[in-house]
Amino acid sequence: MSTPIQFGEFAKNAESTRLIKLEWFEVIARYWERGRQYGADSYVRPVRPTGFSYRSTGQGQSGHCEPHWPRARGESVKDGDLTWVAEPAGANGIDAISAPQLTLAPAGSLTTGAPSIADGDATGSRVEIVLNSDGIPGTKYQGRLTVASAGQLLIGLFTVDVR
Protein backbone atom coordinates (compact mmCIF):
# COMPACT_ATOMS: atom_id res chain seq x y z
CA MET A 1 0.00 0.00 0.00
CA SER A 2 1.25 3.48 -0.82
CA THR A 3 1.46 6.65 1.25
CA PRO A 4 -1.98 8.31 1.29
CA ILE A 5 -2.53 11.29 -0.99
CA GLN A 6 -3.98 14.35 0.73
CA PHE A 7 -6.66 15.96 -1.45
CA GLY A 8 -7.57 18.69 1.02
CA GLU A 9 -10.92 20.07 2.18
CA PHE A 10 -14.14 20.66 0.26
CA ALA A 11 -16.88 22.96 1.57
CA LYS A 12 -20.51 21.96 1.03
CA ASN A 13 -23.83 23.59 1.86
CA ALA A 14 -26.11 21.11 3.67
CA GLU A 15 -29.06 21.92 1.38
CA SER A 16 -27.30 21.42 -1.96
CA THR A 17 -25.41 18.76 -3.84
CA ARG A 18 -21.70 19.10 -4.59
CA LEU A 19 -19.53 17.38 -7.16
CA ILE A 20 -15.96 16.83 -6.01
CA LYS A 21 -13.19 15.76 -8.34
CA LEU A 22 -10.11 13.91 -7.10
CA GLU A 23 -7.26 13.92 -9.64
CA TRP A 24 -4.79 11.01 -9.51
CA PHE A 25 -2.66 11.90 -12.57
CA GLU A 26 0.55 12.77 -10.70
CA VAL A 27 0.46 9.38 -8.98
CA ILE A 28 -0.42 7.13 -11.93
CA ALA A 29 1.61 8.75 -14.72
CA ARG A 30 4.71 6.78 -15.73
CA TYR A 31 7.38 9.47 -15.75
CA TRP A 32 10.78 9.02 -17.42
CA GLU A 33 13.47 7.70 -15.05
CA ARG A 34 17.25 7.79 -15.48
CA GLY A 35 19.12 4.52 -15.95
CA ARG A 36 15.92 2.46 -16.09
CA GLN A 37 15.33 -0.56 -18.34
CA TYR A 38 12.39 -0.10 -20.71
CA GLY A 39 10.83 -2.63 -23.03
CA ALA A 40 9.88 -2.04 -26.63
CA ASP A 41 6.68 0.01 -27.01
CA SER A 42 6.91 1.35 -23.44
CA TYR A 43 5.36 4.76 -22.88
CA VAL A 44 6.65 7.51 -20.59
CA ARG A 45 5.75 11.07 -19.77
CA PRO A 46 8.48 13.70 -19.46
CA VAL A 47 9.07 15.17 -16.01
CA ARG A 48 8.09 18.59 -17.44
CA PRO A 49 4.94 18.20 -19.52
CA THR A 50 5.22 18.74 -23.28
CA GLY A 51 1.72 17.71 -24.32
CA PHE A 52 3.07 14.40 -25.65
CA SER A 53 3.87 10.94 -24.41
CA TYR A 54 6.87 9.09 -25.79
CA ARG A 55 7.03 5.47 -27.03
CA SER A 56 10.24 3.46 -27.08
CA THR A 57 11.03 1.89 -30.46
CA GLY A 58 13.06 -0.93 -28.88
CA GLN A 59 14.22 -2.14 -25.51
CA GLY A 60 17.16 -0.80 -23.55
CA GLN A 61 18.31 1.44 -20.74
CA SER A 62 17.58 5.16 -20.52
CA GLY A 63 20.44 7.65 -20.17
CA HIS A 64 21.53 9.54 -17.08
CA CYS A 65 19.97 12.86 -18.11
CA GLU A 66 16.43 13.36 -19.32
CA PRO A 67 16.49 14.00 -23.08
CA HIS A 68 15.29 17.19 -24.75
CA TRP A 69 11.88 15.85 -25.77
CA PRO A 70 10.64 16.62 -29.28
CA ARG A 71 7.45 18.64 -29.46
CA ALA A 72 6.01 17.40 -32.74
CA ARG A 73 4.20 14.14 -33.40
CA GLY A 74 6.44 11.48 -34.94
CA GLU A 75 9.73 13.19 -34.09
CA SER A 76 12.26 11.10 -32.16
CA VAL A 77 15.06 11.54 -29.63
CA LYS A 78 17.95 9.27 -28.62
CA ASP A 79 18.24 8.45 -24.88
CA GLY A 80 20.90 5.98 -23.71
CA ASP A 81 20.16 2.71 -25.57
CA LEU A 82 16.66 3.91 -26.48
CA THR A 83 14.92 5.96 -29.10
CA TRP A 84 11.68 7.65 -28.08
CA VAL A 85 9.00 8.80 -30.56
CA ALA A 86 6.54 11.59 -29.72
CA GLU A 87 2.88 10.54 -29.77
CA PRO A 88 -0.38 12.17 -28.64
CA ALA A 89 -0.54 12.05 -24.87
CA GLY A 90 -4.07 10.71 -24.26
CA ALA A 91 -3.87 7.78 -21.87
CA ASN A 92 -0.40 6.72 -23.06
CA GLY A 93 2.06 6.59 -20.18
CA ILE A 94 -0.73 6.35 -17.60
CA ASP A 95 -1.50 3.37 -15.36
CA ALA A 96 -5.29 3.03 -15.38
CA ILE A 97 -7.25 3.32 -12.16
CA SER A 98 -10.19 1.08 -11.29
CA ALA A 99 -12.46 -0.10 -8.49
CA PRO A 100 -12.95 3.18 -6.58
CA GLN A 101 -14.22 2.58 -3.04
CA LEU A 102 -15.38 5.40 -0.75
CA THR A 103 -15.88 5.59 3.01
CA LEU A 104 -16.98 8.64 5.02
CA ALA A 105 -16.84 9.14 8.78
CA PRO A 106 -18.97 9.75 10.68
CA ALA A 107 -21.08 7.34 8.68
CA GLY A 108 -24.73 7.70 7.80
CA SER A 109 -25.58 11.41 7.78
CA LEU A 110 -23.84 12.42 4.52
CA THR A 111 -24.75 10.33 1.52
CA THR A 112 -23.08 10.12 -1.86
CA GLY A 113 -23.49 8.62 -5.24
CA ALA A 114 -21.07 5.84 -6.15
CA PRO A 115 -17.63 7.23 -7.05
CA SER A 116 -17.03 7.11 -10.79
CA ILE A 117 -13.93 7.35 -12.96
CA ALA A 118 -14.20 10.36 -15.24
CA ASP A 119 -12.67 10.38 -18.69
CA GLY A 120 -13.13 14.03 -19.60
CA ASP A 121 -9.50 14.55 -20.61
CA ALA A 122 -8.98 11.04 -22.08
CA THR A 123 -6.62 9.97 -19.30
CA GLY A 124 -9.19 8.41 -16.96
CA SER A 125 -7.20 9.75 -14.02
CA ARG A 126 -9.98 11.54 -12.13
CA VAL A 127 -12.60 10.15 -9.73
CA GLU A 128 -15.82 12.14 -9.30
CA ILE A 129 -18.10 11.89 -6.29
CA VAL A 130 -21.52 13.51 -5.95
CA LEU A 131 -22.27 14.58 -2.38
CA ASN A 132 -26.04 14.58 -1.86
CA SER A 133 -28.08 17.42 -0.33
CA ASP A 134 -27.74 16.30 3.25
CA GLY A 135 -25.18 16.20 6.04
CA ILE A 136 -25.16 17.89 9.43
CA PRO A 137 -24.12 21.57 9.34
CA GLY A 138 -20.95 22.19 11.33
CA THR A 139 -19.71 18.64 10.80
CA LYS A 140 -16.46 17.74 9.09
CA TYR A 141 -16.58 14.36 7.39
CA GLN A 142 -13.36 12.45 6.78
CA GLY A 143 -13.33 10.80 3.37
CA ARG A 144 -11.14 7.90 2.27
CA LEU A 145 -11.10 6.85 -1.39
CA THR A 146 -9.15 3.84 -2.57
CA VAL A 147 -8.44 2.92 -6.19
CA ALA A 148 -6.46 0.11 -7.80
CA SER A 149 -3.66 0.95 -10.26
CA ALA A 150 -0.81 -1.18 -11.64
CA GLY A 151 -1.33 -3.87 -9.01
CA GLN A 152 -1.31 -1.41 -6.11
CA LEU A 153 -3.98 -0.02 -3.85
CA LEU A 154 -3.80 3.79 -3.76
CA ILE A 155 -5.41 5.78 -0.95
CA GLY A 156 -6.73 9.32 -1.10
CA LEU A 157 -7.87 11.28 1.96
CA PHE A 158 -10.07 14.37 2.04
CA THR A 159 -12.42 16.33 4.31
CA VAL A 160 -15.93 17.58 3.56
CA ASP A 161 -16.96 20.59 5.67
CA VAL A 162 -20.78 20.81 5.73
CA ARG A 163 -22.04 24.33 6.37
110 and 153 share one domain:
yes
Distance in angstroms (rounded) separating the CA atoms of residues 32 and 84: 11
Residue in 134, 141, 158, 162 with CA at minimum distance from that of residue 20? 158
Residue 22: pLDDT above 90? Answer: yes
Q: Where a domain ends, among 45, 67, 88?
A: 88
Radius of gyration (C-alpha) of the chain in whole angstroms: 20
Distance in angstroms (rounded) separating the CA atoms of residues 60 and 105: 48
Domains in the chain, number: 2
Domain CATH number, residue 9: 2.60.40.10
Residue 1: pLDDT above 70? Answer: no
59 and 20 share one domain:
no
100 and 70 share one domain:
no
108 and 119 share one domain:
yes
Structure confidence at residue 118 (pLDDT): 85
Strand partners, 117: 127
Structure confidence at residue 91 (pLDDT): 85
39 and 21 share one domain:
no
149 and 102 share one domain:
yes
Residue 29: pLDDT above 60? Answer: yes
Distance in angstroms (rounded) separating the CA atoms of residues 110 and 119: 26
Q: Which domain holds residue 18?
A: 5-27+95-162
68 and 103 share one domain:
no
Considering the entire predicted model, what is its pTM?
A: 0.82
153 and 104 share one domain:
yes
Residue 33: pLDDT above 80? Answer: yes
Structure confidence at residue 131 (pLDDT): 92
Task: Dump strand ranges (E) for the chain.
Answer: 5-12, 18-23, 37-38, 43-44, 52-56, 60-61, 76-79, 82-88, 98-105, 116-118, 126-131, 140-149, 152-162
112 and 149 share one domain:
yes
**Residue pLDDT, tens place only, 39-80:** 999 999 999 999 999 999 999 999 999 999 999 999 999 999
The stretch 18-45 carries a mean pLDDT of: 95
**Residue pLDDT, tens place only, 90-144:** 889 999 999 999 999 998 788 898 999 987 666 788 999 999 988 889 999 999 9
